[in-house]
């Protein structure tokens, strides 16, 4: 049964938790290296999703899906969570949280561009204009308000953050061919990715010591509220929604709410250039969505 009020409750819950994860990333990275964080967060996410699957008695569905789609599951697991979160956490390890999270929000735009290449979807004028605006916003943030100087605060971190948007977009492009309940699909990805992360961590020497307990607690939080159940909250919001566009547009609250957590928990000074750049990015994303919103209404 459709219920916009129920949809709002699920959506606001998801947005709140997503708004905390940039702060949680930086807290965890004080105690863990990026590989450790991916590993322990992935274990946490896999366990919470397994618990949901056991409660819903859907283990058989997982077995059937993996048996008939193991190649696709392996490819998706390689992209996300393995490569995507390794790159994303390394970007957060290098950049201030406010910069990394702002750049990461351009993934929706990257998805449009890559879909035009790999899915042969038409690139609209809105997409092109949005691209110019969004990436100008990235320039503003990454140069601390001097976009024409091209004097980046940390070019490696910026490139890693942009690479994470490519990986996340590729994950969704590959996933378009994957007709499966998201709960089953996401759990299967984590199940396949854990050995990959463990092998990489072992041979890179990143998992050769016991982690600090504070880092483990932070990674558990990330595993549950970034990688796990929050995604299901969002899916429920979209399923209950009478107007999906009104729910989808709520996501633009998240980066600004995230800055509040970053400032008060991490004690990062929020630069005016970050606020202006983030507003520029959001403006670009809104322009990109205009045609879609009109078609949904």
Is the pLDDT score of 38 beyond 80? yes
Distance, in Å, from the CA atom of 83 to the CA atom of 220, rounded to the nearest integer, reads 19
Distance, in Å, from the CA atom of 95 to the CA atom of 36, rounded to the nearest integer, reads 18
> If you average pLDDT over residues 287-296, what whole number do you get?
64
Distance, in Å, from the CA atom of 47 to the CA atom of 190, rounded to the nearest integer, reads 9
> Could you list the residue range(s) of the whole structural domain that residue 227 is in?
4-296
What percent of the chain lies above the pLDDT cut of 90?
65
Q: What is the DSSP letter of 271?
A: P
| Overall size of the chain counted in residues | 297
- First and final C-alpha spacing in the chain: 19
Q: 262 is written with which tokens?
A: 């970053």
> If you average pLDDT over residues 112-123, what whole number do you get?
88
Distance, in Å, from the CA atom of 208 to the CA atom of 206, rounded to the nearest integer, reads 6
| C-alpha 264, offset from chain centre | 22
- The residues, any chain, with a CB within 8 Å of residue 236's CB and separated by 6 or more, are 7, 10
> If you average pLDDT over residues 113-140, what whole number do you get?
89
pLDDT of residue 108: 83
Is the pLDDT score of 19 beyond 70? yes
Is the pLDDT score of 248 beyond 50? yes
CA distances from 284 to 34, 74, 105, 192 (A): 30, 34, 11, 36
Are residues 138 and 103 in contact, defined by beta-carbon separation less than 8 angstroms? yes
- The model's pLDDT over 194-245, given as tens digits with 9 standing for 90+, comes to 999 999 999 999 998 888 999 999 999 999 998 888 878 887 887 788 877 7
Is the pLDDT score of 290 beyond 90? no
Distance, in Å, from the CA atom of 141 to the CA atom of 74, rounded to the nearest integer, reads 35
Domain count, the chain: 1
Report pTM.
Answer: 0.91
| C-alpha 228, offset from chain centre | 11
H or E segment and range at residue 1 = none
Confidence of residue 291 (pLDDT cuts 50, 70, 90): low
> If you average pLDDT over residues 71-100, what whole number do you get?
96
Distance, in Å, from the CA atom of 47 to the CA atom of 57, rounded to the nearest integer, reads 15
Is the pLDDT score of 296 beyond 60? no
pLDDT of residue 297: 47
Distance, in Å, from the CA atom of 40 to the CA atom of 228, rounded to the nearest integer, reads 13
Q: What per-residue string of b and e applies to 177-193 under the rule 16 or more CB within 10 Å gives b?
A: ebebeebbbbbbbbbbb
Confidence of residue 1 (pLDDT cuts 50, 70, 90): low
The dihedral formed by the CA atoms of 188, 168, 21 and 133, expressed in degrees to the nearest 10:
-160
Cis-peptide, bond into residue 81, ω within 30° of zero: yes
- The residues, any chain, with a CB within 8 Å of residue 55's CB and separated by 6 or more, are none
Distance, in Å, from the CA atom of 9 to the CA atom of 233, rounded to the nearest integer, reads 9
Distance, in Å, from the CA atom of 229 to the CA atom of 146, rounded to the nearest integer, reads 39
pLDDT of residue 171: 92
pLDDT of residue 251: 83
Confidence of residue 77 (pLDDT cuts 50, 70, 90): very high
One-character DSSP codes across 119-159: S-PPPPHHHHHHHHHHHHHHHHHHTTS-TTTT--S-HHHHH
Residue of 197 and 6 predicted with greater confidence:
197
Is the pLDDT score of 81 beyond 90? yes
pLDDT of residue 260: 96
């Amino acid at each position: 049964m459709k219920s916009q009020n129920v949809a709002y409750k699920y959506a606001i819950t998801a947005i709140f938790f997503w708004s905390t994860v940039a702060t949680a990333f930086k807290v965890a990275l004080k105690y863990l290296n990026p590989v450790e964080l991916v590993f322990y967060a992935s274990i946490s996410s896999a366990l919470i999703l397994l618990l949901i699957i056991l409660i819903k008695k859907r283990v058989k569905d997982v077995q059937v899906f993996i048996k008939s789609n193991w190649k696709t599951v392996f490819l998706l697991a390689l992209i996300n969570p393995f490569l995507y979160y390794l790159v994303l956490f390394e970007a957060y390890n290098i950049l201030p949280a406010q910069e990394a999270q702002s750049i990461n929000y351009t993934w929706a735009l990257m998805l449009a561009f890559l879909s035009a290449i790999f899915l042969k979807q038409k690139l609209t004028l809105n997409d092109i204009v949005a691209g110019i605006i969004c990436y100008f916003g990235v320039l503003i943030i990454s140069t601390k308000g001097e976009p024409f100087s091209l004097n980046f605060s940390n070019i490696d971190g910026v490139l890693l953050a942009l690479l994470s948007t490519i990986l996340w977009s590729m994950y969704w492009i590959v996933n378009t061919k994957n007709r499966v309940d998201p709960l089953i699909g996401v759990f299967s990805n984590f199940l396949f990715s854990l050995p990959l992360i463990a092998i990489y961590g072992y041979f890179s020497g990143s998992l050769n010591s016991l982690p600090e307990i504070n880092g483990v607690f932070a990674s558990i939080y990330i595993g549950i509220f970034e990688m796990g159940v929050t995604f299901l909250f969002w899916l429920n919001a979209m399923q209950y929604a009478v107007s999906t566009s009104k729910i989808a547009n709520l996501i633009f609250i998240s980066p600004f709410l995230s800055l509040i957590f970053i400032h008060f928990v991490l004690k990062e000074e929020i630069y005016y250039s970050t606020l202006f750049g983030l507003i520029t990015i959001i403006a670009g994303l809104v322009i990109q969505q205009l045609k879609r919103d009109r078609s949904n209404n």
